[in-house]
Amino acid sequence: MCAQTARRLRRPDLPSHTPPEVPADFGRTPTGTATTQAALGRALLDLTRVAPEVARRVITVSPDVSSSTNLGGWVNKVGVWAAHERTDWFADDAETILHWRERPTGQHIELGIAETNLVGLLGELGATWSRWGQPLFPIGVLYDPFVERALEPWSFGIYAGGQSILVGTPSGVSLAPEGGAHQSITTPSIGIEQPGCIAYEPAFAIDTEWCLLACLARLGRPGGSSAYLRLSTRPVSQKLAAVPADPAVRERRRRHAVAGAYRIRQPDNPQVTIAAMGAVVPEALAAAERLDEIGVPADVVCVTSPGLLFRALRARQGQEQGEAWILGQALPADRAAPLVTVLDGHPHTLAFLATINRVPHTALGVTQFGQSGTAEELYRHHGIHADSIIHAALDLAG
């Protein structure tokens, strides 16, 4: 009986398909003012032009937030999945921006306000590479505060071999007017603590593209991993990214961004280091400029992934596998100085960075429920604006 049951349950061996090669860089440099959330939608559209074989395997899933998370252009391009083609009752409306074309070839799935169902579907879509021999690249997009609501089933999906990308946006108190209901505080911890997952919180559009492409390249394969991107709706001048024009130096910047951090400002003889992540990197750069004016030169390190840096630190200690080399590039011992860390999230997220070179440290971040106001007002309220960074730096350097 057992042998009969085993034969009945045994799945036939299926030919496995190697995922198409994902480009590492689109080769363009974003200009003007942009948000990392908008950069996600732009990157998906670029993917359809630069790497159509990759784009054809991308499936996006969202809980009733397709347009508010900047997936509108992607949805217009690839359509919405449905078992049978359905009539688009608004097709003749010239003022309609989002075209909801439902058809069997669609690559976007809308689940309504049901985050748990969304991550359950992500787990199944992310396991097709091992169960059916056909790798897919599933990307789930939801408001960042609700990542915690969906974390347990997503974690189970990862444990079962499902490889997917979860995008939490908008995040932090940078979504200032909407108050505590939509402002996330502790989600950066997920990126450090979730097994089988690599997390990024980019500051600039170019970093978002690089990190997204790196995440896609890890999907649908043995030894791959899931990813979590924490994005923002805060408009940021892309000039601040100072993307190198030289191709070799640009590639070096990309490798560092994907590995967890890069130095974006490095004066001679720094007296303090500011390590910032995500939406508050402009505050860190503004603080460094003002510190320089009063004779306190400051390095600025743009952190893209605290989780990868933590793994790198543990790799240096012989505790696990990781790319320890990034620590010497982002926070080299010969430039070690008192450290200020700052992010739009809980300050403990980056506190461990001080142990890399064993320097004095002040951690800035958000520890209370969000208030309503402008981003500047909330940054000041929570002590993550440029003045707070300057005060912390002077206390350490003095």
Residues in the chain: 398
Residue range 201-209: average pLDDT? 98
The confidence score (pLDDT) of residue 8 equals 81
Assess contact for 193 and 222: CB atoms under 8 A.
no
Over the stretch 73-92, which tens digit does the pLDDT of each residue have?
A: 888 888 888 888 887 766 66
d(CA 390, CA 283): 10
Confidence check: pLDDT of 154 > 90: yes
Over the stretch 248-275, which tens digit does the pLDDT of each residue have?
A: 999 999 999 999 999 999 999 999 999 9
Distances (CA, A) of 47 to 122, 221, 314: 20, 20, 34
Residue range 89-100: average pLDDT? 70
| Domains annotated on the chain, with CATH | 32-88+97-230 (3.40.50.970), 244-397 (3.40.50.920)
pLDDT mean across residues, the chain: 92
d(CA 167, CA 65): 12
Residue range 137-158: average pLDDT? 92
Confidence check: pLDDT of 94 > 70: no
Over the stretch 14-57, which tens digit does the pLDDT of each residue have?
A: 677 789 999 999 999 999 999 999 999 999 999 999 999 999 99
What pTM was estimated for this model as a whole?
A: 0.93
d(CA 220, CA 318): 29
The confidence score (pLDDT) of residue 280 equals 98
Over the stretch 291-315, which tens digit does the pLDDT of each residue have?
A: 999 999 999 999 999 999 999 999 9
Assess contact for 264 and 300: CB atoms under 8 A.
yes
Q: Which pair of structure tokens corresponds to residue 6? A: 């085993």
* CB-based burial, 327-356: b 16+ in 10 Å, e otherwise: bebbbeeeeebbbbbbbbbbbebbbbbbeb
pLDDT grade for 382, boundaries at 50, 70 and 90: very high
Angle between helices 36-50 and 205-216 (to 10 degrees): 50
Residue range 325-349: average pLDDT? 97
